[in-house]
Chains A and B, each alone.
Chain A
Amino acid sequence: MNKECIYISGNLSAYSDNELPEEKYREIKKHLETCTECKVILNELEKTGATIKTAFSCDDADIDFSGIWEKIESNTDFRPSLWQRIIRFRCKPVVWMPAVFAGAAACLLICFMPNFHAGPDSRTPMQASRVESVYSSTGQVMVMQTAKSGNPLIWILPGADKEAG
Chain B
Amino acid sequence: MKRAFILTPLIILYIGLVFIKSAGAGQTSILHVNIEIIKAHRDSAVVDPQLKGLIKELGPILNFSGFSLIKKSKTALKVNDKTRLILSHDRHVELKFLEFDDYKARLSLRILEKKKETFKTVLLLIDNGSALIGGPPHEGGTLLLRIKAKFE
Contacts and interface: CB of A to CB of B under 8 A. Distances in A.
Interface of A: 95, 98-99, 102-103, 105-106, 109-110, 113, 115-116, 119-121, 123-138, 144, 146-149, 151-158, 161-165
A158 B57 contact: no
B142 to A, nearest CB: 9
A123 B124 contact: no
Given A129-B125, A136-B119, A164-B87, 12 more contacts: A98-B3, A116-B17, A126-B102, A133-B120, A148-B56, A152-B123, A153-B131, A153-B134, A154-B131, A155-B62, A158-B136, A163-B139
A123 B103 contact: yes
B38 interface: no
A156 B136 CA distance: 7
Interface residues of B, number: 55
Nearest to A138: B118
Contact of A121 (B62, B87, B126, B138): B126
A53 B123 CA distance: 107
A165 B2 contact: no
B57 A147 contact: yes
A154 B57 CA distance: 13
Interface in B94-117: 102-104, 106, 116-117
Given A106-B14, A113-B17, A144-B61, A124 B127 contact: yes
B44 interface: no
B88 interface: yes
Contacts of A137: 116-119
